Structure 1
Amino acid sequence: MRIYFGLLILLIGFQACQSQQIKEENSSVLPGELNRISVFNVADARQFYTWTSDRVPLVSAHRGGPYPGFPENAIETFENVLKYTPAIIELDVAMTKDSVLVLMHDDELDRTTNGTGKVNEVSYEYIQSLFLEDMDGDLTEFKVPTLEQALLWAKGKALLTVDIKRSVPFEEVVKIIDKTGAESYAALISYTFPAAKKLHSLAPELMLSVTIRNGEEIKRFEETGIPWDRVIAFTGLAERTREFNNQLHQNGAFTILGVLGNLDRSAISRGDEIYVSFVQNGADILATDRPIEAAAAIRGLIPNQSSKSSYFEYAN
């Protein structure tokens, strides 16, 4: 039975070393028993991502949140994360030789599948024949999804941030988002202001994740003409000052702190309480390779009541 609990997240307690236990526990969770974020129109998306003092801190699962047995950029991996916490799912999009958009981080297939070759030099038919490998190199039974499959899966379940690989035309990604009606829950990642401007010109209704790491970059962003209510501010891979985060909040923008890499490793060595300090310092979303652990650490910071509460549905 699924019910709303305001903003009380029911998460399974665990330690960082219990990745295998996580996998085993998931096998007993009934299909469909997921924590969800449901945003169904672009006006709701803007309201959700507009910063307020009662905002709900979230995790963003880098490359979908891979764990042992769950490879990166797989729909099954996305669902594994949602069994523990509502989440933003960050995914990577590449394009095959025959112009099919698939989820893949690397230019080549060798690291994450049992295939070989470059994604843009092979056909989708070939990619369909492959299986994904997890981060330990173990073969799984999971297939490489298309972007369209991922977008259709996410509706009513999760918010997405879409990382577009260099060889992929922005227009093709926007076309698939339009085809699937995913405008409200799929935000596009841009690493440069010219890229952000182009994406905004192609799809002015979409949310954009834009890198803004200092005061100079705030100024450069404002020069793009993109409204603040279309931006989620990625503040980089190093913790920013509370004053800087407050500047972004004053413009109504959520902040995403990339804790993947050094900051995640600090949490492993120093304890997951470090994630709490990032949120208390003004990070609204933690982009992490450890979404389950990070979400468990920050669950105590969820406000008892929030203007965002209607967007969340928690597994019982």
Structure 2
Amino acid sequence: MKKNVILVFLFLLSLNGVFAQTKEYRMEFKSGKELQKFLTYSKKSYPLVSAHRGGPTVGFPENCTPTFANTIQYNPAIIETDIALSKDSVLVMMHDDKLDRTTTGTGLIGNYTYKELQDFYLEDTQGNPTPYKIETLDEVLQWGKGKVIYTLDVKRGVPMQKVIDAVRRNKAEAYSVIITYNANQAAEVARLAPDLMISVSARGKDDVERMEALGVKAEKMVAFVGTSDPKPEVYSYLHSRSIACILGTMGNIDKSAAVNSEGLYYQLIANGATVLSSDRSKEAGAQLAKYAKDNKLHSKHIKEVVKK
């Protein structure tokens, strides 16, 4: 009898292990050149969702690795994440210049040292405190290896050189893209780190040629084309230069997809976007996975991993 009870207990434990399993969709690149090739546009480009601010939702706040881990349970993802600077010049993950909206703290983030920032907790999308603390860029980069591509949004006042130094220090060149907002910023990154991929604001020939004149190579560009579907000629030109396109769906497009049809995400990829930067990464990712399946698109860099 006792033996039977033990066997039943062990069986239940094994079942618990099975049901506790989760999936992760991971992306891995051995070098910056592999990343560049993956992000170079072709008709076989694999469509990806970019989780805006990492994919926050109920229980998971902006810009922290537990949220990133939750995001990649549903689909492979580019993680867009924001970098701010503490009073003692530590690179920390935060979108706003103030703590009030996303943490239990108040006031300017630049008024606190990193140690002082650890007194606060991050809040989720409903304003509920979570167990998670403000993380450093170093922590985020270390977590991301072999899991995601990062697009690093460098907030105003943060020295670009410090961000590049962090990428180097963590050997994160193979999965990091630096976001820039104008030609001069793109040129600065190209000068400081000519090997890194750069997200540039480009909506056509004039924008690309302006950056090329400043030393930014087209093969290092991924073009952010705005937050509304551009004209076909924009995609046509950028594709002719082998430049992949990021369309921002956060805001009106996400709202339209939620109200009308999730299939909108599918159509935006068919129109010419390669990446959709979305606040609804799970829903957008499901449509992108369908598009990839329908068009028989695959990538050796994307793997589905079962975790316990």
Equivalent residues of 1:42, 1:206 under 8 A apart:
yes
Paired residue total = 287
Aligned to 1:66: 56
- Please give the TM-score of this superposition, normalised by the length of structure 1: 0.88
Q: Which of 103, 121, 128 in structure 1 is aligned with 2:111?
A: 121
Aligned to 1:104: 94
Equivalent residues of 2:204, 2:237 under 8 A apart:
no
Q: Which of 139, 144, 155 in structure 2 is aligned with 1:165?
A: 155
1:313 aligns with 2:295: no
1:252 positional shift: 1.0
Q: Distance in 1 between matches of 2:53 and 2:110?
A: 19
Aligned to 2:42: 52
1:255 aligns with 2:282: no
* Equivalent position SS for 1:232: strand
Higher helix fraction: Structure 1 or Structure 2?
2
Equivalent residues of 1:93, 1:105 under 8 A apart:
yes
1:135 positional shift: 1.3
1:29 positional shift: 5.3
* Equivalent position SS for 1:315: strand
* Equivalent position SS for 1:181: coil
1:176 aligns with 2:166: yes
1:305 positional shift: 5.0
Aligned to 2:182: 192
Residue identity matched to 1:158: V
Residue identity matched to 2:120: L
Aligned to 1:22: none
1:279 aligns with 2:269: yes
Residue identity matched to 1:42: G
Q: Distance in 2 between matches of 1:310 and 1:241?
A: 32
Counterparts in 2 of 1:13-92, with a 5 A limit? Answer: 30=21, 33-92=23-82
Q: Bigger CA drift: 219-228 or 179-188?
A: 219-228
1:233 aligns with 2:233: no
1:223 aligns with 2:213: yes
Q: Distance in 1 between matches of 2:208 and 2:197?
A: 17
Equivalent residues of 1:212, 1:221 under 8 A apart:
no
Q: Deviations over 1:31-54 (max 9, x none)?
A: 6x4110101211101111111111
> Which runs of 5 or more structure 1 residues have no equivalent in the other structure?
1-27
* Equivalent position SS for 1:184: helix
Q: Distance in 2 between matches of 1:193 and 1:243?
A: 21
Q: Runs of 4+ in structure 1 displaced over 3 angstroms?
A: 28-31, 303-306
Counterparts in 2 of 1:204-223, with a 5 A limit? Answer: 204-223=194-213
* Equivalent position SS for 2:138: helix
Residue identity matched to 1:148: D
1:219 positional shift: 2.8
Q: Distance in 2 between matches of 1:248 and 1:143?
A: 40
Equivalent residues of 1:60, 1:88 under 8 A apart:
yes
Aligned to 2:291: 301
Residue identity matched to 1:92: D
Q: Which of 82, 85, 90 in structure 2 is aligned with 1:95?
A: 85
Q: Which of 125, 133, 145 in structure 2 is aligned with 1:143?
A: 133
1:216 positional shift: 2.6
Q: Deviations over 1:167-205 (max 9, x none)?
A: 100111011110000011110000010011011111111
1:116 positional shift: 1.2
Equivalent residues of 1:200, 1:206 under 8 A apart:
yes
> Which runs of 5 or more structure 2 residues have no equivalent in the other structure?
1-18
Equivalent residues of 2:197, 2:222 under 8 A apart:
yes
The percentage of aligned residue pairs carrying the same residue is: 39
Larger radius of gyration: 2
Equivalent residues of 2:191, 2:215 under 8 A apart:
no
Relative contact order (C-alpha < 8 Å, sep 6+): which is higher? Answer: 1
Q: Distance in 2 between matches of 1:143 and 1:302?
A: 36
1:286 positional shift: 0.1
Aligned to 1:289: 279
1:267 aligns with 2:265: no
Equivalent residues of 1:83, 1:315 under 8 A apart:
no
Q: Distance in 1 between matches of 2:190 and 2:110?
A: 26
Q: Distance in 1 between matches of 2:102 and 2:21?
A: 27
Q: Distance in 2 between matches of 1:202 and 1:305?
A: 38
Q: Distance in 1 between matches of 2:251 and 2:213?
A: 31
1:315 positional shift: 3.5
